[in-house]
Amino acid sequence: MADDETKAAYRTAYEDWQAKLAELHKLLLHGERIPPIQIKGLLNRESRAKRNYDRARLALLGIEEEEMPDEEEAEE
């Protein structure tokens, strides 16, 4: 079973990602309009929050994170 610190990190990452995802859904699903320059920031924030959540989830599950090769390395 995961320790309290790992559980807290997971909860924090999950809640942060859900908040960022809700903001993105306002734009994509509910038609909220925002300036184009803010769309890029919104997408970046949600993407970073999702990556943080994924890392926290793997830690909670006790799974080591696999490193993804760079695109250039994958092409070789």
What type of residue is 53?
Y
What type of residue is 44?
N
Nearest one of 69, 60, 72, 57 to 18, comparing CA atoms: 57
What are the start-end ranges of the H helices in 1-76? 4-28, 36-61, 71-75
The pLDDT score that the predictor gives to residue 23 is 96
pLDDT band at 66 (very low <50, low <70, confident <90, very high): low
What are the φ/ψ torsions at residue 62 (nearest 5 degrees)? 75, 25
Is the confidence at residue 50, as pLDDT, over 90?
A: yes
pTM above 0.85? Answer: no
Question: What is the spatial distance between Cα 50 and Cα 70, in angstroms, rounded to a whole number?
Answer: 19
Is the confidence at residue 2, as pLDDT, over 90?
A: no
